[in-house]
Amino acid sequence: MTKSLQDKVIIVTGAGRGIGREIALLCAAEGAKVVVNDPGGAADGAGSNAAPAEEVVEEIKKRGGTAVANFESVAEAIPASKIVKSATDHFGRLDGVVNNAGILRDMIFHKMSVEAFEAVIKVHLMGSFYVSHAAARIFREQESGSFVHFTSTSGLIGNFGQANYAAAKLGIVGLSKSIALDMGRFNVRSNCVSPFAWTRMIGTIPTETDAEKARVEKIKQMGPEKIAPVCAYLLSDAAKDVTGQIFGVRMNEIFLFSQNRPLRSVQSSDGWTPQSIAEHAMPALKGSFYKLDRSADIFTWDPV
């Protein structure tokens, strides 16, 4: 059987554990040469440890694949550019980037520190930009390449205590769409994946009530290996016409998410005043308002 990523060079950030690890393993199994990037920090980003990335590289090699470990942080521009340089130094080219690296610093909004907000933005949003920006010049020159960025229903829909994470993840949607628009002329694709999977980051979800415990048990059924096939597909030539989209993966379900478009409009030939907006415009629009839903309110059925 033909391997979908034969001889392609793929960077996977945050690939030492969880979803990133599974993506790196599958990409290698599909014939790619993989840069396994992970500084090995804790779920909140603290500390570093070479072991996670090195262990994934060893696992890939044991299975007959090709990989190299990289320990740079995505949260600063120069170290992030070194991840891209690692790919070209070792393998001579670059064909795909998976921006998976992430940390969590959950806290209800009025108690969230500035540092906690900025740290999460730097890893998720700025990190996705830094790595993509360094790779973009290579993709432009060779007129090919694929970006896979990770978003979340915390941003797409909503969640408690995650203003930093939600802002970063929705920002990534805008980043991905802009890359798709700006680089489409060079045959460069950019898509988002919103994963549902049990990882150490999800392990921070509170489990104090029976409902919370039941929700976490459902999430535990969803292994990170279920996310990898969609990512490998999006990196492959089979996805050459797929760009600017947002996909969700939940066990064996794949979703295509909607994107922001106008729902309703109201018009007044005389223009609007605050009073006429209150009297006419807002009552007409209110029927189409979105509720303050959370992800769990929308995805109410068990994973299948």
For the chain, strand residue ranges (E) read 9-13, 33-37, 66-70, 96-99, 145-150, 188-196, 246-250, 253-256
* CA 216 – CA 197 distance, rounded (Å): 10
For 93-206, strand residue ranges (E) read 96-99, 145-150, 188-196
Cβ partners under 8 Å of residue 163, min gap 6: 109, 112, 117
Question: How many other β-carbons are positioned within 10 Å of the β-carbon of residue 259?
Answer: 11
What interhelical angle do 163-183 and 127-142 show, nearest 10?
10
The residues assigned a catalytic role are: 165
Question: Is residue 98 within 8 Å of 235, Cβ to Cβ?
Answer: yes
> First vs last Cα of the chain: how many Å apart?
28
Three-state DSSP at 193 gives strand
The CA R_g of the chain, rounded to the nearest whole Å, is: 21
Question: Is residue 47 within 8 Å of 41, Cβ to Cβ?
Answer: yes
DSSP alpha helix (H) spans, 209-273: 210-220, 228-235
Task: Tell me how far CA of residue 111 lies from CA of 26, 103, 117, 207, in angstroms.
Answer: 40, 18, 11, 20
Longest dimension (CA), the chain: 73
